[in-house]
Amino acid sequence: MLSFVFVMIIMAQSSAERIIEVIDEEPTIKDKENPVTEVKDGSIKFENVSFQYSDEQNEDKFALKNINLDIKAGETIGIIGGTGSSKSTLVQLIPRLYDVTKGSIKVGGVDVKNYEIHTLRDAVAMVLQKNVLFSGTIAENLRWGDKEADQEELEEACKLAQADGFIKEFPSKYETVLDQGGTNVSGGQKQRICIARAMLKKPKILILDDSTSAVDTKTDALIRKAFREEIPNTTKIIIAQRVSSIEDADKIIVLNEGKIDGIGTSEELLKTNEIYREVYESQMKGGDEDA
Protein backbone atom coordinates (compact mmCIF):
# COMPACT_ATOMS: atom_id res chain seq x y z
CA MET A 1 0.00 0.00 0.00
CA LEU A 2 2.83 2.41 0.88
CA SER A 3 4.54 1.61 -2.44
CA PHE A 4 1.30 2.32 -4.30
CA VAL A 5 0.86 5.66 -2.49
CA PHE A 6 4.48 6.59 -3.28
CA VAL A 7 3.98 5.87 -6.99
CA MET A 8 0.74 7.94 -7.04
CA ILE A 9 2.53 10.88 -5.39
CA ILE A 10 5.26 10.81 -8.06
CA MET A 11 2.64 10.66 -10.84
CA ALA A 12 0.61 13.49 -9.26
CA GLN A 13 3.74 15.64 -8.96
CA SER A 14 4.52 15.21 -12.66
CA SER A 15 0.92 16.03 -13.60
CA ALA A 16 0.88 19.12 -11.37
CA GLU A 17 4.11 20.39 -12.96
CA ARG A 18 2.61 20.01 -16.43
CA ILE A 19 -0.63 21.77 -15.42
CA ILE A 20 1.32 24.68 -13.92
CA GLU A 21 3.42 24.86 -17.10
CA VAL A 22 0.26 25.19 -19.22
CA ILE A 23 -1.28 27.80 -16.88
CA ASP A 24 1.92 29.90 -16.91
CA GLU A 25 2.30 29.72 -20.70
CA GLU A 26 2.24 33.19 -22.29
CA PRO A 27 0.05 33.39 -25.43
CA THR A 28 1.94 34.44 -28.54
CA ILE A 29 -1.09 36.29 -29.95
CA LYS A 30 -1.52 39.51 -27.98
CA ASP A 31 -3.24 42.88 -28.30
CA LYS A 32 -1.22 45.79 -29.64
CA GLU A 33 -1.11 49.09 -27.80
CA ASN A 34 -4.30 51.13 -28.40
CA PRO A 35 -6.08 48.39 -30.39
CA VAL A 36 -9.19 49.00 -32.51
CA THR A 37 -12.31 48.17 -30.48
CA GLU A 38 -15.03 48.17 -33.15
CA VAL A 39 -15.48 46.03 -36.26
CA LYS A 40 -17.16 48.18 -38.90
CA ASP A 41 -18.55 45.40 -41.10
CA GLY A 42 -18.00 41.82 -42.22
CA SER A 43 -15.85 42.47 -45.28
CA ILE A 44 -12.72 40.28 -45.46
CA LYS A 45 -9.59 40.75 -47.53
CA PHE A 46 -6.69 38.27 -47.81
CA GLU A 47 -3.59 39.86 -49.31
CA ASN A 48 -0.82 37.45 -50.39
CA VAL A 49 -1.45 35.27 -47.32
CA SER A 50 0.79 32.28 -46.64
CA PHE A 51 0.74 30.27 -43.44
CA GLN A 52 2.62 27.45 -41.76
CA TYR A 53 2.22 26.03 -38.27
CA SER A 54 5.91 25.93 -37.34
CA ASP A 55 7.94 29.08 -36.62
CA GLU A 56 10.80 28.05 -38.85
CA GLN A 57 9.80 29.16 -42.35
CA ASN A 58 10.07 26.45 -44.97
CA GLU A 59 8.42 26.75 -48.38
CA ASP A 60 7.63 23.00 -48.39
CA LYS A 61 5.68 23.23 -45.11
CA PHE A 62 3.26 26.04 -45.93
CA ALA A 63 -0.33 24.94 -45.29
CA LEU A 64 -1.62 27.95 -47.28
CA LYS A 65 0.22 29.63 -50.13
CA ASN A 66 -0.36 33.06 -51.72
CA ILE A 67 -4.05 33.40 -50.88
CA ASN A 68 -5.75 36.50 -52.30
CA LEU A 69 -9.46 37.00 -51.57
CA ASP A 70 -11.82 39.95 -51.49
CA ILE A 71 -15.11 39.18 -49.73
CA LYS A 72 -17.74 41.90 -49.42
CA ALA A 73 -19.86 42.31 -46.29
CA GLY A 74 -23.02 40.20 -46.48
CA GLU A 75 -21.76 37.81 -49.15
CA THR A 76 -22.20 34.07 -48.87
CA ILE A 77 -18.96 32.25 -49.64
CA GLY A 78 -18.66 28.50 -50.14
CA ILE A 79 -15.37 26.65 -49.66
CA ILE A 80 -14.79 23.18 -51.03
CA GLY A 81 -11.73 20.98 -51.38
CA GLY A 82 -10.27 17.61 -50.55
CA THR A 83 -9.05 16.41 -47.16
CA GLY A 84 -5.88 18.28 -46.21
CA SER A 85 -6.51 21.22 -48.55
CA SER A 86 -6.44 23.60 -45.50
CA LYS A 87 -10.07 24.72 -45.63
CA SER A 88 -10.35 24.98 -41.83
CA THR A 89 -6.92 26.61 -41.54
CA LEU A 90 -8.04 29.36 -43.92
CA VAL A 91 -11.04 30.40 -41.82
CA GLN A 92 -9.18 30.05 -38.50
CA LEU A 93 -6.90 32.90 -39.57
CA ILE A 94 -9.85 35.34 -39.65
CA PRO A 95 -10.47 35.50 -35.86
CA ARG A 96 -6.69 35.18 -35.21
CA LEU A 97 -6.72 31.67 -33.83
CA TYR A 98 -3.41 31.72 -35.70
CA ASP A 99 -1.46 34.61 -37.16
CA VAL A 100 -0.47 34.65 -40.83
CA THR A 101 3.15 33.83 -41.66
CA LYS A 102 3.21 36.14 -44.68
CA GLY A 103 0.80 38.75 -46.00
CA SER A 104 -2.16 40.27 -44.16
CA ILE A 105 -5.87 39.79 -43.48
CA LYS A 106 -8.23 42.73 -43.13
CA VAL A 107 -11.71 42.60 -41.58
CA GLY A 108 -13.86 45.68 -41.97
CA GLY A 109 -10.90 47.39 -43.68
CA VAL A 110 -8.60 46.94 -40.64
CA ASP A 111 -5.71 44.48 -40.29
CA VAL A 112 -6.84 41.80 -37.84
CA LYS A 113 -3.60 42.30 -35.87
CA ASN A 114 -4.71 45.85 -35.01
CA TYR A 115 -7.98 44.76 -33.36
CA GLU A 116 -8.47 44.03 -29.71
CA ILE A 117 -8.62 40.21 -29.76
CA HIS A 118 -11.88 40.07 -27.77
CA THR A 119 -13.51 42.57 -30.17
CA LEU A 120 -12.44 40.64 -33.26
CA ARG A 121 -13.48 37.23 -31.93
CA ASP A 122 -16.79 38.62 -30.72
CA ALA A 123 -17.53 39.72 -34.30
CA VAL A 124 -16.73 36.27 -35.72
CA ALA A 125 -18.86 33.25 -34.83
CA MET A 126 -17.58 29.79 -35.75
CA VAL A 127 -19.64 26.59 -35.79
CA LEU A 128 -17.61 23.43 -36.18
CA GLN A 129 -18.64 19.97 -37.33
CA LYS A 130 -18.24 18.69 -33.76
CA ASN A 131 -19.25 21.40 -31.31
CA VAL A 132 -19.56 20.97 -27.58
CA LEU A 133 -22.82 21.06 -25.65
CA PHE A 134 -22.66 21.24 -21.87
CA SER A 135 -24.76 19.51 -19.25
CA GLY A 136 -27.65 21.85 -18.49
CA THR A 137 -30.80 23.03 -20.23
CA ILE A 138 -31.02 23.89 -23.92
CA ALA A 139 -31.65 27.54 -22.95
CA GLU A 140 -28.49 27.60 -20.80
CA ASN A 141 -26.46 26.15 -23.66
CA LEU A 142 -27.84 28.73 -26.07
CA ARG A 143 -26.98 31.59 -23.73
CA TRP A 144 -23.29 30.80 -24.12
CA GLY A 145 -23.77 32.86 -27.30
CA ASP A 146 -25.33 35.76 -25.37
CA LYS A 147 -25.85 35.43 -21.63
CA GLU A 148 -28.32 38.35 -21.66
CA ALA A 149 -30.60 36.88 -24.37
CA ASP A 150 -34.28 36.68 -23.47
CA GLN A 151 -36.67 33.88 -24.44
CA GLU A 152 -37.85 35.65 -27.59
CA GLU A 153 -34.27 36.03 -28.83
CA LEU A 154 -33.55 32.36 -28.11
CA GLU A 155 -36.57 31.28 -30.14
CA GLU A 156 -35.73 33.65 -33.01
CA ALA A 157 -32.17 32.27 -33.27
CA CYS A 158 -33.49 28.71 -33.14
CA LYS A 159 -36.02 29.43 -35.91
CA LEU A 160 -33.14 30.65 -38.11
CA ALA A 161 -31.21 27.46 -37.37
CA GLN A 162 -34.30 25.25 -37.88
CA ALA A 163 -34.03 24.10 -34.25
CA ASP A 164 -37.18 25.65 -32.77
CA GLY A 165 -39.45 22.93 -34.16
CA PHE A 166 -37.76 19.91 -32.58
CA ILE A 167 -37.03 21.78 -29.31
CA LYS A 168 -40.72 22.50 -28.82
CA GLU A 169 -41.51 18.81 -29.30
CA PHE A 170 -39.65 18.01 -26.08
CA PRO A 171 -41.94 17.98 -23.00
CA SER A 172 -39.83 20.66 -21.26
CA LYS A 173 -39.09 22.55 -24.50
CA TYR A 174 -36.21 25.03 -23.92
CA GLU A 175 -35.80 23.80 -20.34
CA THR A 176 -34.99 20.27 -21.55
CA VAL A 177 -31.84 19.09 -19.77
CA LEU A 178 -28.99 17.98 -22.01
CA ASP A 179 -26.48 15.37 -20.93
CA GLN A 180 -22.77 16.24 -21.00
CA GLY A 181 -21.81 16.51 -24.67
CA GLY A 182 -25.47 16.53 -25.76
CA THR A 183 -25.62 12.75 -25.96
CA ASN A 184 -29.42 12.73 -25.60
CA VAL A 185 -29.98 14.63 -28.88
CA SER A 186 -29.09 13.52 -32.41
CA GLY A 187 -26.07 14.78 -34.35
CA GLY A 188 -28.21 16.99 -36.57
CA GLN A 189 -30.11 18.46 -33.61
CA LYS A 190 -26.83 19.16 -31.83
CA GLN A 191 -25.47 21.00 -34.88
CA ARG A 192 -28.62 23.13 -35.17
CA ILE A 193 -28.45 24.11 -31.48
CA CYS A 194 -24.82 25.13 -31.99
CA ILE A 195 -25.73 27.22 -35.06
CA ALA A 196 -28.46 28.96 -33.04
CA ARG A 197 -25.97 29.61 -30.24
CA ALA A 198 -23.61 31.26 -32.73
CA MET A 199 -26.47 33.35 -34.15
CA LEU A 200 -27.18 34.81 -30.71
CA LYS A 201 -23.81 36.58 -30.86
CA LYS A 202 -25.20 38.63 -33.78
CA PRO A 203 -21.82 38.27 -35.51
CA LYS A 204 -20.54 40.31 -38.43
CA ILE A 205 -19.03 37.09 -39.84
CA LEU A 206 -20.54 33.61 -39.47
CA ILE A 207 -18.32 30.63 -40.30
CA LEU A 208 -19.87 27.18 -40.69
CA ASP A 209 -17.10 24.57 -40.87
CA ASP A 210 -18.93 21.51 -42.21
CA SER A 211 -21.46 22.16 -39.46
CA THR A 212 -24.52 20.89 -41.34
CA SER A 213 -22.96 17.52 -42.21
CA ALA A 214 -25.43 15.64 -39.97
CA VAL A 215 -28.44 17.64 -41.21
CA ASP A 216 -30.61 16.38 -44.07
CA THR A 217 -30.46 18.31 -47.36
CA LYS A 218 -33.97 19.80 -46.98
CA THR A 219 -33.19 21.27 -43.54
CA ASP A 220 -29.79 22.43 -44.81
CA ALA A 221 -31.55 24.33 -47.62
CA LEU A 222 -34.00 25.89 -45.13
CA ILE A 223 -31.10 27.09 -42.94
CA ARG A 224 -29.38 28.72 -45.94
CA LYS A 225 -32.67 30.32 -47.02
CA ALA A 226 -33.16 31.78 -43.51
CA PHE A 227 -29.61 33.16 -43.59
CA ARG A 228 -30.21 34.88 -46.94
CA GLU A 229 -33.50 36.43 -45.89
CA GLU A 230 -32.98 37.21 -42.19
CA ILE A 231 -29.28 38.12 -41.88
CA PRO A 232 -28.36 39.64 -45.27
CA ASN A 233 -25.67 41.92 -43.79
CA THR A 234 -23.79 39.08 -42.08
CA THR A 235 -20.94 37.57 -44.10
CA LYS A 236 -21.49 33.80 -44.31
CA ILE A 237 -18.59 31.42 -44.99
CA ILE A 238 -19.64 27.80 -45.47
CA ILE A 239 -17.14 24.95 -45.64
CA ALA A 240 -18.85 21.86 -46.97
CA GLN A 241 -18.29 18.43 -48.44
CA ARG A 242 -21.72 18.50 -50.11
CA VAL A 243 -21.95 20.61 -53.26
CA SER A 244 -25.65 21.21 -52.52
CA SER A 245 -24.67 23.12 -49.33
CA ILE A 246 -22.74 25.79 -51.28
CA GLU A 247 -24.24 25.62 -54.77
CA ASP A 248 -26.20 28.85 -54.32
CA ALA A 249 -23.33 30.84 -52.73
CA ASP A 250 -22.31 34.20 -54.20
CA LYS A 251 -18.81 32.81 -54.71
CA ILE A 252 -17.31 29.36 -54.29
CA ILE A 253 -13.61 28.90 -53.49
CA VAL A 254 -11.99 25.64 -54.57
CA LEU A 255 -8.91 24.84 -52.47
CA ASN A 256 -6.29 22.32 -53.50
CA GLU A 257 -3.13 21.63 -51.46
CA GLY A 258 -3.31 25.02 -49.74
CA LYS A 259 -3.78 27.03 -52.93
CA ILE A 260 -6.85 28.55 -54.58
CA ASP A 261 -7.61 26.39 -57.60
CA GLY A 262 -10.69 28.35 -58.66
CA ILE A 263 -13.17 31.05 -57.64
CA GLY A 264 -16.61 31.71 -59.09
CA THR A 265 -20.25 30.78 -59.00
CA SER A 266 -21.26 27.13 -59.32
CA GLU A 267 -22.18 27.70 -62.97
CA GLU A 268 -18.82 29.33 -63.73
CA LEU A 269 -16.78 26.65 -61.96
CA LEU A 270 -18.59 23.86 -63.79
CA LYS A 271 -17.19 25.33 -67.00
CA THR A 272 -13.71 26.29 -65.79
CA ASN A 273 -12.65 24.13 -62.82
CA GLU A 274 -11.94 20.43 -63.16
CA ILE A 275 -11.90 19.68 -59.39
CA TYR A 276 -15.31 21.29 -58.82
CA ARG A 277 -16.78 19.64 -61.91
CA GLU A 278 -15.61 16.18 -60.79
CA VAL A 279 -17.05 16.63 -57.27
CA TYR A 280 -20.31 18.06 -58.64
CA GLU A 281 -20.82 15.27 -61.18
CA SER A 282 -19.93 12.47 -58.74
CA GLN A 283 -22.36 13.77 -56.11
CA MET A 284 -25.20 14.64 -58.46
CA LYS A 285 -24.96 11.34 -60.33
CA GLY A 286 -24.90 9.55 -57.00
CA GLY A 287 -28.01 11.46 -55.96
CA ASP A 288 -29.79 10.46 -59.19
CA GLU A 289 -28.93 6.79 -58.65
CA ASP A 290 -30.15 6.89 -55.02
CA ALA A 291 -33.42 8.43 -56.16
Alpha helices by DSSP H, the chain: 2-24, 87-92, 117-123, 138-142, 151-160, 164-167, 187-199, 217-230, 266-272, 274-290
| pLDDT at residue number 289 | 43
**pLDDT digits 0-9 by tens, 141-155:** 999 888 888 999 999
Q: Do 227 and 60 meet the contact criterion of CB atoms below 8 Å apart?
A: no
**pLDDT digits 0-9 by tens, 227-247:** 888 889 999 999 998 898 898
Confidence of residue 286 (pLDDT cuts 50, 70, 90): low
| Domains, the chain, with CATH or none | 36-290 (3.40.50.300)
| pLDDT at residue number 186 | 86
**pLDDT digits 0-9 by tens, 58-105:** 667 889 999 999 999 999 999 999 888 899 999 999 999 999 999 999
What mean pLDDT do residues 168-178 have?
A: 92
